[in-house]
Amino acid sequence: MTEKTAREKPWLIRTYSGHSSAAESNKLYRTNLAKGQTGLSIAFDLPTQTGYDSDHILAKGEVGKVGVPVCHIGDMMTLFQDIPLEKMNTSMTINAPAAWLLSLYIATAERQGAARSSLNGTTQNDIIKEYLSRGTYIFAPQPSLKLTSDVIAFTYREVPKWNPMNVCSYHLQEAGATPEQELAFALATSIAVLDTVRPVVPAADFEQVVSRISFFVNAGIRFVTELCKMRAFTELWDEICRTRYGITDEKARRFRYGVQVNSLGLTEQQPENNVYRIILEMLAVVLSKNARARAVQLPAWNEALGLPRPWDQQWSLRLQQIVAYETDLLEFGDIFDGSTEVTRKVEELKVGAREELARIDAMGGAVAAVESSYMKQKLVESNARRIGAIESGEQIVVGVNKWTETEPSPLTTGDGSIMTVDPKSEAEQIERLKAFRASRDAKAVEAAISALKSAASEGRNIMEPSIAAAHAGVTGGEWAATLRDVFGEYRAPTGVARAAAQVKGEKMSAVRAEVEKVSAKLGRRVKMLVGKPGLDGHSNGAEQIAVRARDAGMEVVYEGIRLTPAQIVNAALEEGVHVVGLSILSGSHIPLVTEVLERMKAAGLGDIPVIAGGIIPPEDEKALLAAGCARIYTPKDYDITAIMGDIVGLLGQRAA
């Protein structure tokens, strides 16, 4: 008899979740943990992520939609009711206000009776990619990096098992990054962060600081290339730690990462096919032992349709458990060592990534490449090429541009096929917030805010004052407003103005000819306003619409993310546009689009067509069309040139 091979311990198994309220999210977390989930991954709503309380004007329609609203320590304590934080591994997807949410977490743990040193988990805290892809930044790059540095310098001493920063390439791929760009942009970010924190900590402690930097990556459907990308990541990170920072301890140089597999490729058409996409993408990050993820969270199969139900999340959880516990994957060493094909592809990716890193370094690093819009521009161009390949059929997407014939799916029919947030939850959250504010010791809150402002103004570490503020009952909106007073706010370059993505072909030529014809009828060039109302910072779709409209010959007004309906209507009035396009991916399309329509009518612009795009369920599509929306586009409408033709056709009818 041969001795049984010892199985390696599985990765942390998580689902990314949170919705409606702290109480509802707590119920979901405890349910998922009972089903075998081994860590938590917290999704915060957009007001929380952008430093606004639930009753702020910009929070309207956004509360509890894409995550849980957490305004103060009362919310955080409810969120983790009956979940002992000293025994939990918690990942928090939070960036601009990462220092604040970590402070709330530490304060909550202290109230549970846990020591700071016992806490285990991760704050994403990667602000560079927020400027490039996700849009939940608040401050300019330099003060933002200072806040990131504060968290790192605090945690390695006070919360030594905490990962203070997840360098996040996940959203770069969602924004269209090639594997080489994903490698280079993420590694350039890690260099910018470590170069910032290095002068702040004692030289003897720097190796320990480096050892706590972790990554959060994406894995797409080209899973062999993605597997090679992960091996390239491990080797390039080891190389940077050795050559740039002189880290001698091999363990401190290890590339530690978590992953959520690709959501960009999940399709609205034949969504049941997404289950196969998810499992194949997962293989890229678990098959190779030497580049295996430390934590994995899988999207739900129906995310292109709306908010997943608990059952949908359970399906993704069971996928992980089957691979981890039923297969023999964890009984073997690295099954790709010695493969000439894998080695060749890894080297090819490393060469491309090094070349891109050298270009960024020559500009002055990641911050300079953000401020010049270089990185954003490259992502917009890469995404345009990806979409163009799908439109032309060069890149096959089953059920979308090939083999589109299908039987009706029993999984997506009937009421309750996706989860919806109760509209009352926003009003209820605001009432709880008001009651919390009324119950506080006003003098203690005022003193805590004053101490926080002094620390920020004087360049001191803000973590201890932030934890004290959390205990005093300061809200997230008050914390962020205090720092906005000190650091100001920032609007990142859109990358649209300089992006080169000329589309060729007969279809585009026909659209351009129609734009010229309609422009002649109107007496001036067709002008389109592309707007992002609310707090949704996922601007990839809006950027592609803006770039394609410009390529079609239209004049385009695109001012970036985070605009109020009033600002959008004012821009439409001042710019004299012929059509307004709204992009909303946060689920807040009904209140935001409706308000824009109402304000357009009040401003005398009711004859200007308003179109909307996003993850909009069929029932909501009917409601928006009934409210006066001229067109609705969802992920199934992948052909952007066809959308341009539809828009100019609509304008042509009205100009006749």
The catalytic site residues sit at 16, 170-171, 532, 536, 538
Instruction: Return the H-helix or E-strand segment holding 123.
Output: strand 120-123
* Helix ranges, 123-269 (H): 128-129, 141-158, 170-174, 179-197, 206-211, 223-243
202: alpha, beta or left? (left if phi > 0; alpha if psi -120 to 50):
beta
**Single-letter amino acid code for the residue at 172:** L
Please say whether the beta carbons of 463 and 103 come within 8 A: yes
Distance between CA atoms of residues 140 and 147, nearest Å:
11
What is the SS3 assignment for 518?
helix
Distance between CA atoms of residues 612 and 630, nearest Å:
8
Please say whether the beta carbons of 629 and 580 come within 8 A: no
Distance between CA atoms of residues 619 and 609, nearest Å:
21
Record the tokens describing residue 503, joined without a space.
């589309």
DSSP track, 220-257: -S-HHHHHHHHHHHHHHHHHHHHHTT----TGGG---E
Longest dimension (CA), the chain: 88
- What is the 8-class DSSP label of residue 478? H
Strand partners, 633: 613
Residues 6+ apart with CB under 8 A from 274: 266, 267, 301, 302, 303, 304
650 to 609, 610, 655: CA distances (angstroms): 8, 11, 9
Phi, psi of 124 (to 5 degrees): -60, -60
What is the SS3 assignment for 66?
coil
**Single-letter amino acid code for the residue at 565:** P
Record the tokens describing residue 23, joined without a space.
């109480």
Strands (E), 375-482: none
Strand ranges across the sheet with 295-297? 12-14, 295-297, 257-260, 213-217, 165-168
Burial class for 585, CB neighbours closer than 10 Å (0-12, 13-18, 19+): buried
Please say whether the beta carbons of 593 and 564 come within 8 A: no
Phi, psi of 349 (to 5 degrees): -65, -40
Per-residue HEC secondary structure of 292-346 comes to CCCEEECCCCCCCCCECCHHHHHHHHHHHHHHHHHCCHHHCCCCCCCCHHHHHHH
Record the tokens describing residue 650, joined without a space.
């609509």
**Single-letter amino acid code for the residue at 90:** T
Please say whether the beta carbons of 586 and 534 come within 8 A: yes
Record the tokens describing residue 485, joined without a space.
């007073």
Q: Supply angle C-alpha 545, 96, 215, rounded to 5.
A: 85
> Which of 617, 615, 272 shows the shortest CA–CA distance to 410?
272
> Which of 600, 491, 497 shows the shortest CA–CA distance to 556?
497
